[in-house]
Structure 1
Amino acid sequence: MIEAVMIWNEPNNKSHWDPEIDPDWSRFAHMAKLAADAVRSVNPVLTRLLGGISPIDPDFIGLMKSYGVLEEVNAIAAHGFPLDWNLWQIDEWPRKLDELRAVTDLPIWISEVGVSSFGAEDVQLWGLKRTAELLEGRADRVQWYSLYDLPRSWQATTRHKEAEGSSYYRHFYMGLLREDGSPKLALEEFARHTPDIGLVQWFHFQDPRLDDAVAWMKRLGVTHLRTGLSWADRFRPDALAWFDRQMEALEDFDVTVTFCFTPEHRGLAPHHTSAPIVPEEFAAFCAEMIARYAPAPASLDLVDPQRQMRSMNLPIQPRE
């Protein structure tokens, strides 16, 4: 069911990785290489993706290349929201892809692209149509963000929250469905582009929308989905029970699973954006999740995953 593993999310975005702790991204690069190696050791046939970058910055990809990260992954990913947050226009999508291809020969996934209905649902509908025209057939994967609006009672994962003004509130209107589950104008148009375009849907811990989301995705003809498993959530009571339920519900889809979010007590700073104190612990989490949900085919005849983790000096159990 898992077709790909994404190592972190938007590592060049302050909302997801703290550059004050890791100003040259050397800690991130080291952690990403450890995680990629851990995933490969458990299941070498899985696609390993460098976390989708936002903003689209070829210099960041060049930096990761200089650290040797691109040697450990099979593809790179990028996120773009030109009608909401980026400082470029939607028709520049082909040029943005060319900029990335100039620095790497790896496949390029657009693992998040979307348009909010913050101003008007007609804007989202037009943006979806234009995005499909510009990206279908040009990228190795295109995944639309997202299925649901973010509930207003939750917080968006950004750096400065409400201080960002309208930029913050746009996060709450990215769905094809409103918070109450009712369709927006763009929903029917999206169904015209499946299965070529997939979806991104993050599920919070014990998310009540899970079953309805699965039903909607099947109705829409979605076959490939990007979601996440949070390293921070691994320390919650009954974490594995929730992970099992989530992954079982998604078993009919080709899933790209994103591993990210530093547990507060395991970061150099007590925040999910922090570089970890022990990066091997993040690699161990990645290996544990792959061993649980995407073990290598028996025909590969690999060693026992826990024995492999021990041979790499990776902790098997989360440190409390």
Structure 2
Amino acid sequence: MIEAAMIWNEPNNKSHWDPELDPDWSIYADHVIRAGSAIHAINPAVTRVLGGMSPIDPGWVNRMRTHGALDAVDVVAVHGFPLDWNLWSIHDWPAKIAEIEAVVPDKPVWVTEVGVGSFGAEEVQVFGVEKTAELLLGRVPRVYWYSLYDLPRAWGATTRHREAEGSSYYRHFYMGLIREDGTPKPALDVYARHAEEMGLMQWFHFEDPRLDEAVQWMRRLGTRKLRTGLSWADRFRPGALDWYDRVMEALAEFDVTVTFCFTPEHLGVAPHHSSCAREPQMFADFCAEMIERYAPAAAPALPLAAA
């Protein structure tokens, strides 16, 4: 069910990894090395992806190489939102990819989140899908559009300062191709023309009621590749394995890149999902458990009996 595993989400973004606890990312690198080794030990065929960086920063990648983390992954990933949050033009995508390729010539670069919201106007999102497809499809091996659904306003976005961020915060709720009420935006038809080549990135919250409907939409659209997440923090909820099983069973027909992230409060150096773990091996053990459960290595074929 899992073809690739991403080790954390946006680890160089303070909303997802606390730099005050790990200012040089050496602890994050330790998480990567341990998790990458654990995943490979269970199933060497699973592609290991360094947590998609945001912002796109070749200096941070070089730091990861210095710490030894790049030896534990097969792919380096980037995230970009040039019409919403980044301080560069959407036309700069090829140059941004080239910046990372220059420091990791030995590994492919995937774009595991790219998106344009409809916060200002839905026509802007239409342009965003078209231009993203033009600039990235064929340029990198994998592109995942963020996202299928708008984030429901009642759920809140995973950021540090929430409403105090102004419009930057509210843009989180308009990144989907489908509105919160379930109706499609104009950009959905544009995405459908590229769905065979452009995957989707969609988070499913614990017991997310949109899961089955999302599968139906992806079938209709012709989407083949999906990136999603399995939250380490959710592992300690009652019924966690039942929920994981339901998610992975529902997504079994797609090529899934799963993201392992979010620290359980009681296991963090600080009681927050963005904290590094007190014991990084516990995160690696979670990754190994999920790969063993959903992507175990195939048993070797038995030799044919002699006639």
Q: Name the TM tier (shorter chain).
A: over 0.9
**Matched residue, 1:280:** 281
Do residues 37 (structure 1) and 37 (structure 2) align?
yes
Cα separation, partners in 2 of 1:282 and 1:118, compared to 1, 3 Å: same
Q: Matched residue pairs, number?
A: 301
Write the distance in 2 (CA, Å) between the matches of 1:176 and 1:300: 43
Residues 13-36 of structure 1: per-residue CA shift (max 9 Å, x gap): 000000000001000001110000
**Matched residue, 2:305:** none
**SS at 2:37 equivalent:** helix
Write the distance in 1 (CA, Å) between the matches of 2:181 and 2:221: 18
Write the distance in 1 (CA, Å) between the matches of 2:301 and 2:262: 31
Write the distance in 2 (CA, Å) between the matches of 1:3 and 1:109: 14
Written as runs of structure 1 = structure 2, the 5 A alignment for 1:18-167 is 18-105=18-105, 106-167=107-168
Q: CA deviation at 1:299?
A: 1.6
Write the distance in 2 (CA, Å) between the matches of 1:154 and 1:271: 17
Q: Which runs of 5+ in 1 are unaligned?
A: 302-320
Q: CA deviation at 1:180?
A: 1.1
Q: CA deviation at 1:266?
A: 0.3
Q: Which amino acid aligns with 1:223?
A: R
**Matched residue, 2:7:** 7
Write the distance in 2 (CA, Å) between the matches of 1:99 and 1:71: 20
**Matched residue, 1:195:** 196
Write the distance in 2 (CA, Å) between the matches of 1:109 and 1:66: 21
**SS at 1:298 equivalent:** coil
Q: Which amino acid aligns with 1:15?
A: S
The TM-score, its normalising length taken from structure 2, stands at 0.97
Q: CA deviation at 1:300?
A: 8.5
**SS at 1:199 equivalent:** strand
Q: CA deviation at 1:104?
A: 0.4
Q: Which amino acid aligns with 1:267?
A: G
Residues 99-146 of structure 1: per-residue CA shift (max 9 Å, x gap): 001100210000000000000000000011011100010011000000
Write the distance in 2 (CA, Å) between the matches of 1:300 and 1:147: 39
**Matched residue, 1:229:** 230
**Matched residue, 1:294:** 295
Write the distance in 1 (CA, Å) between the matches of 2:139 and 2:180: 32
Q: Which amino acid aligns with 1:107?
A: P
Q: Which amino acid aligns with 2:22?
A: D
Write the distance in 1 (CA, Å) between the matches of 2:75 and 2:27: 20
The TM-score, its normalising length taken from structure 1, stands at 0.93
Write the distance in 2 (CA, Å) between the matches of 1:108 and 1:159: 28
Instruction: List structure 1 runs of 4+ shifted beyond 3 angstroms.
Output: none
Residues 176-221 of structure 1: per-residue CA shift (max 9 Å, x gap): 0000110001000000002100000000000000000000001000
**SS at 1:124 equivalent:** helix
Write the distance in 1 (CA, Å) between the matches of 2:114 and 2:101: 18
Cα separation, partners in 2 of 1:190 and 1:268, compared to 1, 3 Å: same
Write the distance in 2 (CA, Å) between the matches of 1:53 and 1:117: 23
Q: CA deviation at 1:159?
A: 1.1
**SS at 2:127 equivalent:** helix
Write the distance in 2 (CA, Å) between the matches of 1:30 and 1:133: 37
How large is the Cα RMSD of the aligned pairs? 0.9
Q: Which amino acid aligns with 2:38?
A: A
Aligned-pair identity (%): 66
Write the distance in 2 (CA, Å) between the matches of 1:160 and 1:141: 31
Q: Which amino acid aligns with 1:91?
A: H
Q: Which runs of 5+ in 2 are unaligned?
A: 303-307
Write the distance in 1 (CA, Å) between the matches of 2:71 and 2:33: 9
**Matched residue, 1:207:** 208
Residues 44-83 of structure 1: per-residue CA shift (max 9 Å, x gap): 1110000000000010111001111111111010000000
**Matched residue, 2:259:** 258
**Matched residue, 1:308:** none
